């Protein structure tokens, strides 16, 4: 088998998606290896979880940097020191500048808790509930400079049920996030889906699951 693709996960918090990626990457035939977990917050719960699994961790505290540019230059340097090839954003709560995004173009992916293009930005579950939609979900996409606007790699949807509140709906979506992100990273790491000049190049077979339903 060809070498596994060295992957970093960027987090700011509890890291449940990070954990799902770490667990998936333990399988011998998984095409990516988690080489680094990096947090902008020293107190992110996910850091301890990653370290307990023997994964290298790094903290680049945005508060210790005078501006976004110097923060991102440091993140970029740490990623390169670890030989990282793909970067997964997983609850990373910093907006990235076009400089960073362009540098990692096609190798930078994110999970967002909505069926994009619906509900870009924050508070997606509350907004979906307020609108009374019947289905909601999550999306893994390539990151482009426009927020939550990059080409979709994969989506998973769930029903919105009578009596749902934000906690119930977000838990149902999160369960799907944990299935979707490992599947999407595998597709990117194996080169089955790529970003070419801003558009998706998709070599996945027609029956390959890009849209999961929960
Ligand atoms: C997830 O809902 C993800 O979609 C969003 O931030 C949340 C992170 O949760 N981008 P976790 O830290 O992975 O548990």
- CA nearest neighbour of 204 among 189, 119, 214: 189
Active site residues: 112
CA-to-CA separations, 184 to 40, 46, 86, 103, 139, in angstroms, rounded: 24, 20, 12, 21, 10
Name the 3-class secondary structure at 110: strand
- Looking at the predicted structure, is the pLDDT value of residue 1 above 80? no
For residue 2, name the pLDDT band (cuts at 50, 70, 90): confident
Residue nearest to atom 14 of ligand 1 (CA): 16
127 Ramachandran zone, left/alpha/beta (phi>0; psi -120 to 50): alpha
| Cα 18 to averaged position of ligand 1 atoms, centre (Å) | 9
CA of 3 to the centre of ligand 1 (A): 28
CB-based burial of residue 78 (10 Å sphere; 0-12 exposed, 13-18 middle, 19+ buried)?
middle
pLDDT in tens, 9-51: 999 999 999 999 999 999 999 999 999 999 999 999 999 999 9
- Cβ of 148 less than 6 Å from ligand 1: no
Tracing tokens 């992957």 back to the chain, one arrives at 7
Ligand 1 site, residue 214, Cβ cutoff 6 A: no
pLDDT digit string, tens, across residues 106-140: 999 999 999 999 999 999 999 999 999 999 999 99
Show the domains of the chain with their CATH numbers: 1-104 (3.40.50.170), 110-214 (3.40.50.170)
The pLDDT of residue 213: 84
133: CA distance to ligand 1 center in Å? 21
Torsion angle of the four alpha carbons 130, 153, 103, 120, in this order, in degrees rounded to the nearest 10: -10
């Amino acid at each position: 088998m060809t070498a596994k693709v060295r992957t970093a996960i960027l987090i700011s918090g509890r890291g449940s998606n990070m954990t799902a990626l770490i667990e998936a990457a333990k399988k011998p035939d998984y095409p990516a290896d988690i080489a680094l977990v990096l947090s902008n917050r020293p107190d992110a719960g996910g850091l301890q979880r990653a370290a307990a699994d023997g994964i290298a961790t790094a903290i680049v505290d945005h508060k210790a940097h005078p501006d976004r540019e110097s923060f991102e230059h440091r993140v970029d340097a740490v990623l390169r020191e670890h030989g990282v090839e793909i970067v997964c954003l997983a609850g990373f709560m910093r907006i990235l500048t076009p400089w960073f995004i362009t540098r990692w173009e096609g190798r930078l992916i994110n999970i967002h808790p909505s069926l994009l293009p619906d509900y870009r930005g924050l508070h997606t579950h509350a907004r979906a509930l307020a609108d009374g939609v019947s289905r909601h979900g999550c999306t893994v996409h390539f990151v482009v400079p426009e927020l939550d606007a990059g080409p979709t790699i994969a989506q998973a949807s769930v029903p919105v049920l009578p009596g749902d509140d934000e906690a119930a709906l977000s838990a149902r979506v999160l369960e799907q996030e944990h299935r979707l992100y490992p599947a999407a990273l595998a597709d990117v790491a194996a080169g089955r889906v790529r970003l070419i000049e801003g558009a998706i190049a998709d070599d996945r077979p027609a029956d390959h699951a890009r849209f999961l339903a929960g």
